[in-house]
Amino acid sequence: MKMPKEKIDISMFAPCGMNCKVCYKHCYHKKSCAGCLNSDKGKPEHCRKCKIKECIKEKSLSYCFECAEYPCKLLKNLEKSYNKRYQASLIENSRFVQGHGMVWNISWNSRK
């Protein structure tokens, strides 16, 4: 994995391992969003009804990687889509954060 270069706001690291800034750039002209961990106000419908977000809430977790079932089928399906769309891995992002902690500077732009 490449060394980190860019700092990311912790609130922009989604429970699934997504960099919300990437999605935010994609959705920018549609609706602004403050990230998965913030209020649902102004979020696109697919974010408000996220099954992964509901799952971690039910299990009283903050991130998917904290779950005994990690990575589950739900996350693996999202992983395929995210990898295809953004050429990045949710699971790789999560493992990096899990190993280095949230305060680590995470490079989101140094992906493939």
- Cβ contact 89:83 at 8 Å: yes
Asked, for residue 24, whether it belongs to a domain, the answer is yes
DSSP class of residue 13 equals B
CB 110 within 8 A of CB 5: yes
Two structure tokens written together for 65: 């990687």
How many domains does the chain contain in total? 1
* Whether residue 25 has pLDDT greater than 60: no
- Is 49 among the domain residues? yes
pLDDT at 12: 78
Domain assignment present for 112: no
Q: Work out the average pLDDT over 74-87.
A: 90
pLDDT at 35: 77
36 assigned to some structural domain: yes
63 part of a folded domain:
yes
51 has a pLDDT exceeding 90: yes
Residue 1 placed within a domain: no
108 part of a folded domain: no
Residue 20: what pLDDT? 78
| Structural domain boundaries, residue 79 | 10-100
Please give the Cα distance from 108 to 112 (Å, whole number): 10
Residue 106 lies in a domain: no
On the 0-12 / 13-18 / 19+ scale of CB atoms within 10 A, 34 is middle
